[in-house]
Amino acid sequence: GENVEQHPSTLSVQEGDSAVIKCTYSDSASNYFPWYKQELGKGPQLIIDIRSNVGEKKDQRIAVTLNKTAKHFSLHITETQPEDSAVYFCAAKPPGYSTLTFGKGTMLLVSP
Amino acid sequence: EAQVTQNPRYLITVTGKKLTVTCSQNMNHEYMSWYRQDPGLGLRQIYYSMNVEVTDKGDVPEGYKVSRKEKRNFPLILESPSPNQTSLYFCASRGLAGGQEYFGPGTRLTVT
């Protein structure tokens, strides 16, 4: 089955800095890669996703890049703000009727 | 409003006392899933269901049961809870072919 590795497990940055979280996946058939943000006391919420026919996707201050050859994808957050502080999960899914496999999560702390 | 609801949100129980955590979604999604979240282990899938009367084991199904008698509901049953099932549980749903997975707010279970 699919295996997703996520690094780092914790990341501390100053407000205004950029943050990068990286994930690798094992199943070359996977074609859907979402990122979820989990705030304290809440369930994970989708913030951005990318499909394998695209190399990069951007939504305001967040972007995701995908390298299919190397089987890794990354989340980039620019101009970080304290409200970006949360746990972030990457995930991968093969095509068809299959399940998401999640990374172990990254706790991002943005200090004012 | 599209949402996944779970009840109860918090539960403290004793070893061996059967309990059920309910999950309901209002988006007519075919796919529903249960995860548990533990520190350092991320989100691990317990059971999932592709449609009514169709359920499958995830990565950590031992000690849990599920049923899917109606499309909107997917209860998680712990027949004889043990302390190692103390965890934060999330229900999620999405359309069968893929796309965003919507998470409930979580149920924090403590088994003493």
Per residue in B17-70, pLDDT (tens digit) is 999 999 999 999 999 999 999 998 999 999 999 999 999 999 999 999 999 999
Tokens 């059967």 found at: B18
A42 φ, ψ (degrees, to nearest 5): -125, 165
At B103 the pLDDT is 97
For residue B90, the chain A residue with the least C-alpha distance is A43
For residue B40, the chain A residue with the least C-alpha distance is A104
For residue A104, the chain B residue with the least C-alpha distance is B42
Contact of B34 with B23, CB cutoff 8 Å: yes
Q: Does the structure show a pLDDT above 80 at B96? A: no
At B2 the pLDDT is 84
Q: Where is pLDDT greater, at B96 or A19?
A: A19
The β-bridge partners of B42 are B38
Please tell me whether the peptide bond between B75 and the residue prior to it is cis, using omega within 30 degrees of 0. Answer: no
At B1 the pLDDT is 84
User: Closest to A89 (Cβ–Cβ): which among B43, B100, B105?
Assistant: B43
Q: Which H helix or E strand runs over A47?
A: strand A45-51
Count of alpha carbons within 13 angstroms of residue B81, beta-carbon side: 21
Residue pLDDT, tens place only, B70-95: 999 999 999 999 999 999 999 999 98
Is A2 within 8 Å of chain B by CB?
no
With cut-offs at 50, 70 and 90, classify the pLDDT of residue B99: confident
DSSP assignment of B61-108 equals -TT-EE--SSSSB--EEESS--GGG-EEEEEEEEETTEEEEEE---EE
CA angle A4, B94, B6 (to 5 degrees): 95
With cut-offs at 50, 70 and 90, classify the pLDDT of residue A72: very high
- Answer whether B98 sits within 8 Å of A34, measured CB to CB: no
At B97 the pLDDT is 72
Mean pLDDT of A71-100: 93
User: Within 10 Å of residue B61's Cβ, how many Cβ atoms?
Assistant: 16
Dist CA B25 CA B9 (whole Å)? 16
- Answer whether B33 sits within 8 Å of A99, measured CB to CB: yes
